[in-house]
Amino acid sequence: MRTASQVDWRADIDGLRAIAVLSVVAYHALPSVLPGGFVGVDVFFVISGYLITGILIKEHQSGQFSLRRFYERRARRLFPALALVMAATIAATFLFAYPAAVRQTAKLAVASSFSAANVALWAESGYFDAGSHLKPLLNLWSLGVEEQFYLVWPLLLAALLRSRHLVAIVVSGCLLSLAGAEILNHRSSAAVFYLPTFRAWELGVGALLAILERKNWLSAHMLSRTLCRRATEIGVLLILLSALFLNSRVPFPGLSAVPAVLGSALVIWAGSNSSNGMISRTLSSGPLVYIGLISYPLYLWHWPLLSVPLTAGIRLGDPARALLVVLAFVLSAATYRWLETPARRSSDPMRATLVACIALAAVAMLSIAVYWNERQPAASTVRGRIMSELDWPGADAGRNWCPEALRNDSPGLGYCRGAGPDRPNAVVWGDSHADHLYPGLSAGDPTRDWLLIGHMSCPPTIGIDVAADQPDCRARMTKTLAWIEDQKDIQTVVIGFFGHYADDTDVAKQHRDGPVGPSETSINGQYGQVAKTSLFESGLDRAVSRLVASGKSVTIVIDVPELPFLPVDCFVPPRIPLAQLRCKVPTADVIARQASMRDIVSRLAAKYPDVKVVDPLPAICDQSGCGPGPASQPVYRDSHHLSKHGSSEVAKLILESVNQDQRLLHHRDGG
């Protein structure tokens, strides 16, 4: 006898699942071919909202609803494959990955065990976040969203099911969620991407379809078979066009997600009455249905297989990625056949649920042990000493001595740091590459009271909009420059900034492997190098011009070399190394990479003869090239930021130039 929890199976929905998972896999394996394939996740959300709501409504109508049984079914459906994939991924990273990736993987596994991977990823997102390619369990964020939906929606639906306004309430909730996503996309993109509040409308659209079915607002009652076929075709077309033409630069998932969500809804709504159409027959075909059936383990397996080699330092070409995708299909088929299906169809559901929960709990405990081992290396070990050397002050260190006018203004500054209560007479101004100069300058110059002001990813430019991962850069820099101009006590200004805003290629490992870097940075909406170079120079010129006009002594620090590796990886290799890491970059390559930046600085120095220019290469590079320095005194803490020791070494060059300039002024004035 069919129970209420067993909704009528539709082959076309499994086919839609196949489209969703194939889109995601293609996007991860060959992103240049399907740059918007990430919309497959949004298709999954619509399907989940529809199926789960349909099950709940049928159970309520038949009087069979049980919250306990609902969660038991979810546990048997999700936990076995999840536990297996997480355990395999943790084991692989523990053996083959560099330390940072081991720690990151274990932390995400713990969060995923508690249905919170999306929250953990949101909490750690930001400029210094590890690259997405180096997070083998990154794909579990969407599972977190769905599991949080499962926790809330059954209770909410039970309370609202008898309301005459159910449809209006769900529609209003969807519109509010969508509006929130669209409004906040440019200011809190990570929150919009990861948090269920801003994904609820996608699941809600699926839920709305199930509710409309309950009210007999079915396509069969409203459209002819021909119109249903056309609706299905339009739905699939909207999904495919989204996958082809969206990309990572498009704010998502606001209005840009509507076509894929609407397309999924059309396929589900019209599909049951369009079975004689070509698209419906294709969706219901054996191969697509089978891929749909294994879509859950395929979604789980494919990303760790593509990501773990990167955490071990192996660069994957297209043939290697294709082979790993094939392996993902094989593992998914095996997981579905011998793990997922037996758990779901067990003759003893309670026992199967208990085993699934115990397995996931065991993986959680393993993950905690691995994370703690990686997070707390003994200070006496080589790794412990290196981690101490690479430690960096938090953003709030020294903020108590930030001038009140800057501390309380809006938009706030990520960097505002002083060494004491005295009025500052020297300033380091810029982005995170000003931040890494400050410790060396403040510690190495007892004659001045240094202040750091600036914001991450916001260069010290005026009149241009640099858009990386931080909003309001123009407003922040305009405010800080005006404040500097007004401070008569401040005579010395050192400008530090990342040198490649105008470039369109990524070299630093964190940029190359992550979502933020020069190639993803726009200036006044432009991404091309020629346009960005001209705009950046004009913005930097305006800033220097105003500083010179206000009587400040200005020093521009040329940026440090970018490293295509992480320094800690050079000092602490994986337990079982799979690739040889070359920890030097030829100096000639560095200078060639910096040509555009160096030309800009040279032109400004020629235009403003009193402006000093400091080149940090002598403090960082030797005859064999540029690298992280020795393990005992590393000069970098990541792929493009100095360590405390590196800051001290570069500060010596800066202070030599600044003090020489001050001695010349003193001599010129007759001192």
524 and 609 share a domain?
A: yes
- Residues near 326 by beta carbon (within 8 Å), at least 6 away in sequence: none
- Residue 384 counted as domain residue: no
573 and 445 share a domain?
A: yes
Triad 368, 396, 517: Cα angle to 5°: 75
**Of the candidates 369, 371, 283, 309, the residue with the CA atom closest to the CA atom of residue 100:** 371
Residue 84 and residue 335 in contact, taking contact as beta carbons nearer than 8 Å: yes
Please give the mean pLDDT across all residues of the chain: 91
* Count of the separate structural domains present in the chain: 2
34 and 125 share a domain?
A: yes
CA distance 552 to 540: 15
pLDDT at 375 over 50: yes
612 and 529 share a domain?
A: yes
Q: Which two tokens stand for residue 554?
A: 């200005």
409 and 296 share a domain?
A: no
Instruction: State the pTM of this model.
Output: 0.85
* 426 bridge partner residues: 450, 492
Give the domain-ending residue among 289, 320, 339.
339
DSSP state for residue 522 in the 8-state scheme = E
**Of the candidates 491, 516, 636, the residue with the CA atom closest to the CA atom of residue 571:** 636
DSSP state for residue 97 in the 8-state scheme = S
pLDDT at 669 over 60: no
Question: Percent of the chain scored above 70 by pLDDT?
Answer: 93
442 and 330 share a domain?
A: no
What secondary structure does DSSP assign to 168-190, as a single string? Answer: HHHHHHHHHHHHHHHHHTTT-HH
325 and 441 share a domain?
A: no
57 and 162 share a domain?
A: yes
Report the SS3 class of residue 248. coil
322 and 454 share a domain?
A: no
Residue range 496-518, pLDDT digits in tens: 999 999 999 999 988 887 667 89
CA distance 87 to 575: 18
User: Cβ-count burial of 581 within 10 angstroms (0-12 exposed, 13-18 middle, 19+ buried)?
Assistant: middle
Task: Report CA-CA distances (Å) from 354 to 146, 239, 311, 345, 346.
Answer: 21, 38, 34, 14, 12
Give the domain-ending residue among 339, 362, 387.
339
Lowest pLDDT segment from 17-21, 345-349, 406-410: 406-410
545-563 b/e (C-beta count within 10 Å ≥ 16 → b): eebbebebbbbbbbbbbbb
- Residue 563 counted as domain residue: yes
- Residue 34 counted as domain residue: yes
335 and 415 share a domain?
A: no
300 and 425 share a domain?
A: no
- Residue 16 counted as domain residue: yes
Q: Mean pLDDT across the stretch 302-315? A: 94
- Residue 284 counted as domain residue: yes
Neighbours of 159 (CB within 10 A): 9
317 and 407 share a domain?
A: no
Report the SS3 class of residue 244. helix
Domain hosting 503: range is 400-668
Lowest pLDDT segment from 165-179, 194-208, 305-319, 350-364: 305-319
- Residue 108 counted as domain residue: no
